[in-house]
A and B are shown apart, each in its own frame.
Chain A
């Protein structure tokens, strides 16, 4: 391990962060091309301006591929976190194109997919639900005494739902090791945050649940990484549910169909000047962490990865129609590899190290 340059990150990690950022943007730009070419089945979503929030947060967690690591429930605007958790680029494109070869075999869309080994729990469209589900997943960590945490992303709009409240309150009361990432991108579709809540910062809501919280500049990837590292550490040592608010801006419409004609162009211009990739690139160069040619090479590599993955997915088949009737019920008893049945019958929270 080489020396820390900032926040305990060495050069390899810094460049890893940079790669994830540019990869996320390149993947979504590739999606736009695929949509224009008519390949996408449904809607497409961009996270332009929010990439650092997703990447910085996921980078702070323990990502494994054998079912033993932390868990992530992303949103469509946290694709960067999904990729870091091992969600494949080709699968990403397959999902958007409804391919039979994708993780949900064409039955579900975009980032809505699950990979237990990698700790990925894709969301459903109803907002707030994943807070409830992730409360249950992290409850299992607590019950089994595992040193694992969960991370769930939700935007400003989701905070208005009953499910958001019920899930967060349950998680707080049970002291579940869950980190809620609030994507405070100032918009819920076309509805401004001030029409969704009276609070100035979502950390005010955290206080109402009695949980720890931090608010961080969501365009500053190092700051995000540091804040989430602290939150994860608190959650991991039994201090219960945490919230990290990411302050940034949704620079494109809700989805591709949304022309975003309701926003103030000056405000948008201001946030365009705070592009998370540009900011990080300038910092890397200014601090001398890497040369421009190295960053350029990383960008080219990310674009090439996306081009190849998209090409692969595009050539693959869609599912046969009759597949629609399969997989509603299972009558086989499946034993999850992580099911533990050797524990004591009686389990008390007083026996936990919290």
Chain B
């Protein structure tokens, strides 16, 4: 080995806490050390270390055949990832911002998602990158892209909300033989409240398993990503101010959807509020509602409601973006209505 492992990637080994961003970095790094077939492609991920520095130090350690700075051509390098995956490599592709995944939509949906079905073999590819609003990024640096791919059979879609999950899920995603869309919320990347000390051992968080963040008996909040933290805040408020017991379920993986976990929680509480940062129409709330309708209609004591972003592009000005995004108060209001129903 020509280069020592970067110090900033050894925080867990030293027993120090890490941010969600550092958890992703450690996960990527450990998978690349563990499995020689894992390699990275993306814009400015090598020399610069990635726009958010997720891959800082990787180029020096792994070399430029495993950390590839690409031309600005998301379709081109995602397609190349498909070819590499055919040959037994396991590419991890970074979108500098997930908003820029749209040029790769063709190759992702038409080629990569269909490969196994067409008899062309598995596609062990992870496409990862920063998503989400709240950072005043405007229409093209703030989007959530999950539902653009949710409709396409063949993908798995992962969206962690904690450092522990981020590391365990990125490892599981890399080891999975299906193509995985992996969304990392920018507002969670360096959030000090999300710092935690992770186990200094190799662990994965299995894809397709939701997590009960907190328990409660009156109302279930089904959510993921940054909205997990706003939902927990709202739940605490509802409990303190209204005496309502609120359960919060973090989906963690959107595809496959952990339907059982949602149904089980509904059976405990009888009321479901779905909270997502993605826009309203065609958001995952619609899919969850119909599945509960199919499987657990008799347990419902109230209509299923949703708190979401409004149906508009993500606006730039702070006042506009705050209005656009779901806020804690919105969740509290809807939760109150449901509890009293």
Chain B positions within 8 Å of A141 at CB level = 87
Chain A positions within 8 Å of B33 at CB level = 345
Known: A124-B110, A124-B114, A173-B71. Is A140-B83 also a contact (CB below 8 A)? Answer: yes
Q: Are A339 and B80 in contact (CB under 8 A)?
A: no
Known: A104-B119, A327-B116, A338-B88. Is A136-B62 also a contact (CB below 8 A)? Answer: no
Q: Does B327 contact A (CB under 8 A)?
A: no
Q: Does A158 contact B (CB under 8 A)?
A: no
Known: A169-B73, A330-B178. Is A137-B84 also a contact (CB below 8 A)? Answer: yes
Complex alpha-carbon distance, A163 and B80, angstroms: 11
Q: Are B37 and A341 in contact (CB under 8 A)?
A: yes
Q: Does B244 contact A (CB under 8 A)?
A: no
* B-side interface residues, number (CB < 8 Å): 55
Known: A114-B120, A116-B121. Is A346-B63 also a contact (CB below 8 A)? Answer: yes
Q: Are B122 and A163 in contact (CB under 8 A)?
A: no
Q: Does A36 contact B (CB under 8 A)?
A: no
Complex alpha-carbon distance, A330 and B85, angstroms: 14
Q: Does A348 contact B (CB under 8 A)?
A: yes
Complex alpha-carbon distance, A114 and B121, angstroms: 8
Interface residues of B in 33-60 (CB under 8 A from A): 33, 35-37, 39
Q: Are B64 and A349 in contact (CB under 8 A)?
A: yes
Complex alpha-carbon distance, A306 and B247, angstroms: 66
Q: Does A333 contact B (CB under 8 A)?
A: yes
Q: Are B118 and A136 in contact (CB under 8 A)?
A: no
Interface residues of B in 65-111 (CB under 8 A from A): 65-66, 68, 70-71, 73, 75-89, 91, 103, 106-107, 110-111
Interface residues of B in 167-206 (CB under 8 A from A): 175-178
Q: Are B83 and A135 in contact (CB under 8 A)?
A: yes
Complex alpha-carbon distance, A170 and B319, angstroms: 42
Q: Which of A142, A329, A331, A341 contacts B154 (CB 8 A)?
A: A329
Complex alpha-carbon distance, A103 and B117, angstroms: 11
Q: Which of A166, A171, A334, A347 contacts B66 (CB 8 A)?
A: A347
Q: Which of B71, B81, B103, B177 contacts A136 (CB 8 A)?
A: B81
Q: Which 5 A-B pairs have the closest CB atoms?
A: A132-B79, A136-B83, A166-B76, A336-B88, A136-B80
- A residues lining the B interface (CB < 8 Å): 103-105, 107-108, 112-114, 116, 121-122, 124-126, 129, 131-143, 162-163, 165-167, 169-171, 173-174, 327-336, 338-349
22 A-B pairs whose Cβ atoms sit less than 8 Å apart in the complex: A108-B118, A108-B119, A114-B118, A129-B79, A129-B110, A132-B82, A137-B84, A143-B89, A167-B79, A327-B117, A328-B153, A329-B116, A329-B154, A329-B156, A331-B176, A331-B177, A334-B177, A335-B88, A336-B87, A338-B88, A341-B35, A345-B61
Question: Given A133-B107, A329-B116, 8 more contacts at CB 8 Å?
Answer: A132-B79, A136-B86, A140-B88, A143-B89, A327-B119, A331-B176, A339-B37, A345-B36
